Amino acid sequence: MAIGYELSDSSVVVVIGSGAGGGTVSNELAQKGIDVVCLEAGSRLALSDIVNNPGIMNERMGWLDKRLGAPTWLCKTVGGTTVRWSGITPRFQEHEFKPLTTYGKLDDTTAIDWPITLDELAPYYDMAEDRMGVSGTHGIPPSAETNEFKVLKAGGKKIGYKEITSTRAAINPAARDGRPGCRQIGFCWSGCAIGAKWSTLYSEIPKAEATGHFELRTQSMVVKINHDESGKVTGVVYADLNGVLHEQKARAICVAGNVVETTRLLHNSASSMFPDGLGNSSGHLGRNYMRHMTKSTTAIMPGAVNFHRGTRQSGLIFDEQYHRPERGFVGGYLIETSSGDPLGMAQSVGGWGESAADYLENYTNLASTWVSGEDPPQASNRITFHKTERDQYGLPVPILTYNFHPNSIAMHMHAAKMSKQLLESLGARAVTSTMAGGGGCHNMGVARMSAEPADGVTNRWGQCHDIANLFVSDGSVFASSAAANPTLTIVALAIRQADHIAERMSHKEL
Amino acid sequence: MIRGETSRRRFLVAVMAHSGLLASGMGAALLRAGSAWAQSSTGKAGELARMARLLFPHDGVADEVYAEVIDSILSDVANDASMTDTLKVAVTALNTAQAGDWVTASAGDQIAAMQAVENEAFFGAILGSVRVRFYTHPKVWEHIGYPGSSVEHGGYVDRGFDDIDWLPGDA
């Protein structure tokens, strides 16, 4: 099972973070016989620690350290945000890897094409879907149609949508890969108490441990990456539970802390050789921060929906994902279901008085859609650090600056109109939309991959342009956001990166 | 694996952080705030409870529930002069906006007084705190038909997750 590597063992690959990116790259490397030390800032929950209570679970797994500016909704726990995510796993479309070519240069954006194509990633999407158990792929049946999915489907059909599916969820419809089938518990965002939803917490991490080539150190917060005079990284400094600092030597390092911590760690590791932070000769580190055009639309339906029964996101509509500039914006969006508990719905609809109470008085009749749309990269959307304020690790407090691009506002207006039509086609009343809902769940782009070193932080493998043995393994490497929920693409890229690392090692290049 | 027992206070920090309330600074103040003023002044607690009902008016929910929501806010807050001031400001502002005794005014006048101050920071702080406590209250859940935790009942796979019966056509 778990083994202990010496701090001085410089043959190990150190992976920072154990979520979708870090958990996956760890397991893929360990399966190939490569020794991995994974450092995770959070603690390790057992399934018995997962209860149907969002407040308690946020305390147990949420990232609650101080951050300023735009809020994120991330986790500090083994498994990272795969413990909290809702499991929706669409692929990117071909044109979404070529946003600059397809959309042209929008004002105030820093768009580039990805240095890889859908064709190159497709085999890894296949592997990712298999690892994660995505419904409707690899012989896995579609997800069961919940009440709220049936509302989405009926309304979607009424207004002419054709591509409506209850597939593309990494939640087991039936037992598979040592995990049980979904019991429609309805608290996916509090963590799946039975492990039916894919999470690296109980999938990749135990599998990696079983190889004998993997050690997970929990409550280990990495504060700095060290390098030598040649510019290669040599190890990481981390604080343990008691705040005691240790240095773990490394042959190569994979950073997967989600956008805020990935930026902070590379920024905080600045040296005389890398004065603007590791891997930041381009100046793009921390910039081009994308989080999707997201919006929630809620309405009171003419009959009971009881959307608290069953998975919180139970299907999606593809019809609006395409690039059709005649709609008044570039790129597209996905329409998905989204339920909430009473507090979540009260916060989502906002306000006070009779109209606010009316929604909650009709809680059993509520239905919601949630939209995820392409978010153009902007240099001004970025993560910076407070000049004087420090957190409990002595690290500068992150500041998240994020504003919607006019393209996202135009897309928002369209999505609001279509969501309203969909719900009203079934007799809904009191339709209300909010643009903020869900913002901060999807985080991308602060160390993007680029063909040209001047355009980004990493290359087509997520390997830093400036430092050959330093990799970024999370959504930070996204060159564009596309419309799709990002986790499947993070996992596909991490599997691909592990292949690359193993190949380079076999040629003694790492 | 988990450190200690989850305190109600940390729960509220978490929920309020999610709701964006902490960003205003007022949420944090609410959590730290003192209760001495309100506890020594039951009339003020009564005014705040009336305010809570007008924030989220549900006819089928008893006055006691709104009073419990306010009591829980007041009993959770530690001595904090700035929050005591916030609560005082709220009650004073309502009485000022009403040009008289707010708590005995008509519902319409009470609401108008609240609307007059709804963009003030103190109003947002109280609104957010009441919302968190009210819509997590078991009696409110019971009233609106939300059963809460389901895992101990085996989820809804055999209990109506797909029982919708009013949709048109072949849905």
Instruction: Record the pTM.
Output: 0.92
DSSP state of B167: -
Residue in B closest to A67 by C-alpha? B23
What are the b/e assignments for A124-140, b being 16+ CB within 10 Å? bbebbbebbbbbbbeeb
Beta carbons of A273 and A231 less than 8 angstroms apart: yes
Q: What is the pLDDT of residue B79?
A: 58
Residues of chain B with pLDDT under 50: 1-42, 171
Residue in A closest to B10 by C-alpha? A59
B contact test, residue of A309, A363, A424, A426 with most B CBs within 10 A: A309
| CB within 8 Å: A56 and B6 | yes
* CB-CB neighbors (< 8 A) of B107 in chain A: none
DSSP state of A49: G
The 3-state secondary structure of A164-182 reads EECCCECECCCCECCECCC
If we measure between CA atoms, which residue out of A165, A161, A92 comes closest to residue A135? A165
**Residue-wise pLDDT tens digits, A224-265:** 999 999 999 999 999 999 999 999 999 999 999 999 999 999
The better pLDDT of the pair B25, A299 is held by: A299
Residue type at A478 in one-letter notation: F
Q: Collapse the DSSP code of A29 into the 3-class scheme (helix H, G, I; strand E, B; otherwise coil) and give the result.
A: helix
| CB within 8 Å: A73 and B160 | no
Question: In 10 A of CB A158, how many CB atoms?
Answer: 18
Q: What is the pLDDT of residue B4?
A: 35
**Residue-wise pLDDT tens digits, B137-161:** 999 999 999 999 999 999 999 999 9
| CB within 8 Å: B58 and A153 | no
Out of B131, B145, B149, the one facing A364 most closely (by C-beta) is: B145
| CB within 8 Å: B150 and A52 | yes
Question: In 10 A of CB A293, how many CB atoms?
Answer: 27
Distance CA A85, CA A312 (A): 10
Q: What is the DSSP string of A104-170?
A: ---TT------SS-HHHHHHHHHHHHHHHT-TTSTTPPPPP--HHHHHHHHHHHHTT---EES--BS
Out of A64, A194, A354, the one facing B14 most closely (by C-beta) is: A64
Within A218-365, strands assigned E span 221-227, 233-239, 245-249, 252-255, 293-300, 316-317, 333-337
In what helix (H) or strand (E) does residue A15 lie, and over which residues does it extend? strand A13-16
| CB within 8 Å: A182 and B157 | yes
| CB within 8 Å: A62 and B10 | no
**End-to-end CA, chain A:** 26
Residue in A closest to B169 by C-alpha? A154
Q: What is the pLDDT of residue A1?
A: 42
Instruction: Give just the sign of the alpha carbon dihedral A102, A104, A107, A113.
Output: positive
| CB within 8 Å: B156 and A194 | no
The answer, for B107 touching chain A at a CB cutoff of 8 Å, is no
ipTM here: 0.94
The answer, for B75 touching chain A at a CB cutoff of 8 Å, is no
Domain spans of chain A?
13-506
CA angle, A140 as apex, A78 and A135 as ends, to 5°? 55
Residue in A closest to B20 by C-alpha? A71
Number of H helices, E strands in chain A: 11, 17
Distance CA A272, CA A252 (A): 21
Helix, strand, coil percentages, rounded to 5, for chain A: 30, 20, 50
Average pLDDT on A84-91 reads: 96
Domain spans of chain B?
8-153
Average pLDDT on A325-351 reads: 95
Out of A46, A185, A436, the one facing B150 most closely (by C-beta) is: A185
Residue in A closest to B149 by C-alpha? A52
* CB-CB neighbors (< 8 A) of B1 in chain A: 43-46, 49
Distance CA A264, CA B171 (A): 48
Q: What is the pLDDT of residue B13?
A: 40
**Residue-wise pLDDT tens digits, A2-35:** 569 999 999 999 999 999 999 999 999 999 999 9
Q: Which CATH class is domain A13-506?
A: alpha beta
| CB within 8 Å: B155 and A341 | no
Distance CA A268, CA B68 (A): 47
| CB within 8 Å: B146 and A185 | no
The distance of B71 to chain A (nearest Cα, Å) reads: 19
Question: In 10 A of CB B63, how many CB atoms?
Answer: 12
Which tokens in the block code for residue B130?
């009441």
Out of A46, A58, A154, the one facing B18 most closely (by C-beta) is: A58
Out of B11, B162, B169, the one facing A145 most closely (by C-beta) is: B162
Q: Collapse the DSSP code of A490 into the 3-class scheme (helix H, G, I; strand E, B; otherwise coil) and give the result.
A: helix
| CB within 8 Å: A357 and B161 | no
Distance CA B98, CA B91 (A): 11
If we measure between CA atoms, which residue out of B2, B4, B22 comes closest to residue B13? B22
- Percent of chain A at pLDDT > 70 equals 99
Q: What is the DSSP string of B88-157?
A: HHHHHHHHHHHTS-GGGS-HHHHHHHHHHHTTSHHHHHHHHHHHHHHTT-HHHHHHHT-----GGGTTTT
Within A424-504, strands assigned E span 429-434, 470-472
Question: In 10 A of CB A418, how many CB atoms?
Answer: 22
Distance CA A171, CA A197 (A): 4
Which tokens in the block code for residue B34?
């003192």
Beta carbons of A456 and A266 less than 8 angstroms apart: no
Q: What is the mean pLDDT of chain A?
A: 96
Out of A146, A303, A436, the one facing B162 most closely (by C-beta) is: A146
Residue in A closest to B12 by C-alpha? A55
Beta carbons of A167 and A136 less than 8 angstroms apart: yes
Helix axes A147-158 and A406-424, enclosed angle (nearest 10): 100
List the beta bridge partners of residue A39. Answer: A16, A217
The distance of B167 to chain A (nearest Cα, Å) reads: 7
Q: Collapse the DSSP code of A454 into the 3-class scheme (helix H, G, I; strand E, B; otherwise coil) and give the result.
A: helix
Within A279-395, strands assigned E span 293-300, 316-317, 333-337, 366-373, 382-390
Average pLDDT on A214-221 reads: 98
Beta carbons of A271 and A280 less than 8 angstroms apart: no
DSSP state of A200: T
Query: Among A141-155, A265-279, B72-86, where is mean pLDDT lowest?
Result: B72-86
The answer, for B162 touching chain A at a CB cutoff of 8 Å, is yes
Q: What is the pLDDT of residue A387?
A: 96
Distance CA A390, CA A162 (A): 52
Out of B11, B54, B162, the one facing A147 most closely (by C-beta) is: B162
**Residue-wise pLDDT tens digits, A464-493:** 999 999 999 999 999 999 999 999 999 999
| Conformational region of residue A273, where left means phi above 0, alpha means psi within -120 to 50, and beta covers everything else | alpha
Edge to edge, the sheet with strand A214-217 lists A214-217, A36-39, A13-16, A252-255, A470-472
Query: Among A173-187, A275-289, A349-363, B9-23, where is mean pLDDT lowest?
Result: B9-23
The distance of B109 to chain A (nearest Cα, Å) reads: 13
Residue type at A183 in one-letter notation: R
Out of B18, B23, B161, the one facing A147 most closely (by C-beta) is: B161
The distance of A142 to chain B (nearest Cα, Å) reads: 14
DSSP state of A364: G
**End-to-end CA, chain B:** 45
* CB-CB neighbors (< 8 A) of A306 in chain B: 145, 160, 163-164
**Residue-wise pLDDT tens digits, A404-460:** 999 999 999 999 999 999 999 999 999 998 876 557 889 999 999 999 999 999 999
**Residue-wise pLDDT tens digits, A283-298:** 999 999 999 999 899 9
